[in-house]
Amino acid sequence: MKIQNMKIKYEKEVVKAMQKEFDYKNVWEVPTIKKVTINAGIGKINKEKEKIEELVGYLKDITGQAPVKTKARKAISGFKVREGADVGLKVTLRGKKMWDFLDRLVHIALPRTRDFQGIKLSALGARGNLNLGIKEIVIFPEINPENVRNNFGLQISVSNSANNPIEGEKLFRLLGFPLAENKKKNKSNN
């Protein structure tokens, strides 16, 4: 079974389905995925250069591009963070790399997650963007679990051009994202 490339699926199937459902007059009105941002916090390992380099390597392997260090905007004494200190790593994907990453995320990485029941609808934001928390970096096929010394978590944000969460949810469902069914709907149908 060959998995269809997500970008091709978007262009051939999703655009037509979205136009039909939401009565878009023009194909440019149809929501699309704009960017994918992958974040990893380094607050706990800030002083350990070896662990930071390991995480940078993993992010390069997963995304195909080097991460950028993010700095704290404010000093927070409770977390022992000073303004301007390195607090995370960030990769922003657009274009071909973005579509390739989404293909691997949806078809390979998420199904490898332990006890995966689908993406909860609470992961959709007010404008229909999707925010995922990944607890283990080893779900990605580029990472060899035997070589992982320290497990890292990631936060993945998939930004789209939808105007509301209904359009965003429909876009993600049509693209093949494994969104969980709304439990309220299931209870009312029984």
Residue ranges and CATH numbers for the domains of the chain are 6-39+54-70+90-178 (3.30.1440.10)
Contact present, 172 and 179 (Cβ < 8 Å) = yes
Provide the pLDDT confidence category of residue 182 given band limits of 50, 70 and 90: low
In tens, the pLDDT along 28-86 reads: 888 999 999 999 887 677 677 788 788 888 888 888 898 888 777 777 766 666 776 67
Cα–Cα distance measured from residue 85 to residue 187, given in angstroms and rounded to the nearest whole number: 48
Secondary element (H or E) of residue 154 = strand 154-160
The answer to whether residue 1 scores a pLDDT higher than 60 is no
* Residue from 82, 105, 84 nearest 36 by CA: 105
Over range 147-151, report the average pLDDT: 77
| Torsion from C-alpha of 107, 112, 118, 120, nearest 10 degrees | -110
Q: What is the pLDDT of residue 142?
A: 84
DSSP state, 141?
T
Predicted model pTM: 0.82
Q: What is the pLDDT of residue 190?
A: 44
Tokens of 186: 């299931």
Taking only Cα atoms into account, the Rg of the chain, rounded to an integer number of angstroms, comes to 18
Of 90 and 118, more confident: 90
Amino acid at 14: V
Q: What is the pLDDT of residue 183?
A: 60
| Count of beta carbons in the 10 Å neighbourhood of residue 25 | 7
DSSP state, 25?
S
Give the Å distances, CA to CA, from 145 to 50, 62, 169: 18, 13, 32
Over range 102-129, report the average pLDDT: 83
Across the chain, what does the average pLDDT equal?
81
The answer to whether residue 92 scores a pLDDT higher than 90 is yes
